[in-house]
Amino acid sequence: MEINPYVFRGYDIRGVAGKDFDAEKIEAIGKAYGTFLRRRKIRHAVAGHDCRLSAKEYHPAMIRGMRSAGINVIDIGMVMTQMVYCAQYLYQTNGGVMLTASHNPANYNGMKLATGYSQTTGPEEVQEIRKIIENDSYFVSDEIGGLEKRDVAGDYCADVLKRIALKRKFKMVVDCSCGTTGMYAPEIFKRAGCEVIGKNLKVDGSFPVGTPDPTEKKVVDRVARAVLEEKADLGVTFDGDGDRTGVVDEKGDILWNDVLVAIFAKEILERFPGSKIIYNTLCSQIVRESIKLNGGTPIMWRTGHSFIKAKIAGEKAAFGGELSGHFFFADNAYGHDDGIYAVLRVLEYLSEKNLALSQVYESFPKYISSPEIKIGCPDEKKTEVIRDLSIRFKQDFPNAEITDASVIPGDDGTRADFEDGMMIFRYSQNGPYITIKFEAKDQATYKKRKEYVRKLLESYPEMIWKDELCVNLESLK
């Protein structure tokens, strides 16, 4: 069967529903993943999906494909991604699939595929699944796999809450952007003892208020307005499947998630001095400096939740995080990304220190920092664009500290660190776009870097400036 090869991405499978996927193709992917599991002597898997409208057709197709390979499937229905990971432990199975396209627009869908407890596919495994489909080399079982439906919500909620103890009550805005978290997040925070002001809680896979993306400024600006109106202690929002979060403090100021990485690192290092902390190449210099100031060992690594999780395990690090809002706690949790648990950890730290959120990071190094900016670029051209752009980039800044694939194997971009900030260009592993971030310590330098980034990108006709995947383009004006 022919499937667009570009949907087989760096660590998951993702494309446009109705264009790259239909039920037949999803079933073929299910058969290939079932074959992948059987090769590893895995015969059981959990299966969940987020609220995207195409899941109604695709979720049963995925399960059919897996069962044809003899995989016994536990169907846990519409859930957040972290609930699939939780179900792996609950039902003791290495296999697991989550049907989701995370922060992509409503017309996208895809799969996060487990390779073990809390672990998901990397590039080699994704390509193995692609080759199984291309070669029609499916495992055909003598007996179709079993199917049972389970409700994991109660167990997940209990598991998360038993790890947290709040010493004071918080008033919080919870904006779910009509994503899957609307089914679960408000109730969990209420059970934790919080007063919840809910916004956009009705689950609607057409995403009527816009794509649930906690890195998008217009989304967190909406949360910030609600925080000020309600005089709340903080506000939070999530992506479509709930494994990522975004946070606004009590003053209505946005905390881009690299600042949250620094906050979590500070909290971890207070209890585990000298620990290794993993962060991705898109993070501000705030992260590296804060880790060092608090006695930790900073390790910058390749962007992507699968890559960061693997690096945390390999380095035996206590914590890792990404600018995108994936946070991985290895101290009192399973080490996978969970936006709900991350917010609870923020609340617990504030309650223990009796601080407002803005007070926690007021002593951090100060940078003027852009959000994560995404600009459309075709899958077949984005790698070449970044490769060419990186050559020009390094020529323009010969004295900068450069991080690229020669420093981090497999890295998908080029980062330049200066004495007063950083700049990075990379291509996305999960969509046809490139990602940019830049920062400086003063407004004049920030303005120069912004102009440099904009002019450099405008010189490439491949860039698509009006695209549904574009995010935070106003930060380049």
Q: Which residues touch 366 (CB under 8 Å, ≥6 apart)? A: 441
SS3 300: strand
DSSP string, 10-46: SSSEEEEBTTTB-HHHHHHHHHHHHHHHHHTT--EEE
State residue 92 phi and psi, 5-degree precision: 55, 60
Query: 370: which 2 tokens?
Result: 């852009």
Query: Of 54, 68, 102, 369, which one is the catalytic site residue?
Result: 102
Specify which residues 376 forms β-bridges with: 433, 464
Chain position carrying tokens 């446009």 = 16
Q: What is the dihedral of CA 429, 434, 438, 444, to 10 degrees?
A: 180
Map tokens 């006709």 to a residue. 461
Burial of 166 (0-12, 13-18, 19+ CB in 10 A): middle
d(Cα 237, Cα 411) in Å, to the nearest integer? 29
DSSP codes of every residue in 419-466: TTEEEEEEE-SSSSEEEEEEEESSHHHHHHHHHHHHHHHHT-TT-BSS
Q: Exposed (0-12), middle (13-18) or buried (19+): which is 363, by Cβ within 10 Å?
A: exposed
454's CB contacts (< 8 A; 6+ apart) are 476
The three-state secondary structure class of 156 is helix
- Is-contact 292 298, C-beta < 8 A? yes
CB 179 within 8 A of CB 52: no
Provide the edge-to-edge strand list for the sheet that holds 245-248.
195-199, 171-175, 234-238, 245-248, 254-255
Q: Establish whether 324 is a catalytic residue.
A: no
Where in the sequence numbering do the catalytic residues fall?
102
